[in-house]
Amino acid sequence: MLAPLLIQPLAMAPATITWSPKVALVMILCNVIAIAIGKATIQQPNVGLQLPNSAMFGGLSHGAMLGTLSLGHLLGIGAILGLASRGVV
């Protein structure tokens, strides 16, 4: 009795997006934007474990870089799904 109620929402899920260079570009741009946001808003960006070449990563520590890239991936997922639903990507 519950099986049709559980299966029906799965049938309404959108198709997955295939990888393309456009998808990669959107994800890279979202990560760069997130690094800029993190660099501007994190109060102590260089406290903690340092990255091997911190100048390459904007002077951020390991934890700050993980946080900003996590935000970048969340922004990227939203941007890719939104652009795909509009047919841009």
Residue 5 in any domain: the answer is no
Residue 55: which domain range? 27-89
Pairwise pLDDT comparison (18 vs 29), residue with the higher score: 29
Whether residue 69 lies inside any domain: the answer is yes
The model's pLDDT over 55-77, given as tens digits with 9 standing for 90+, comes to 777 788 889 999 999 999 999 99
The whole-number average pLDDT for the span 39-62 is 84
pTM above 0.85, yes or no: no
Asked if residue 1 is part of any domain, the answer here is no
Number of structural domains the chain divides into = 1
Q: What pLDDT score was predicted for residue 7?
A: 63
Q: Which residues of 30-46 are buried (b: 16+ CB within 10 A; e: fewer)?
A: bbebbbeebeeebeebe
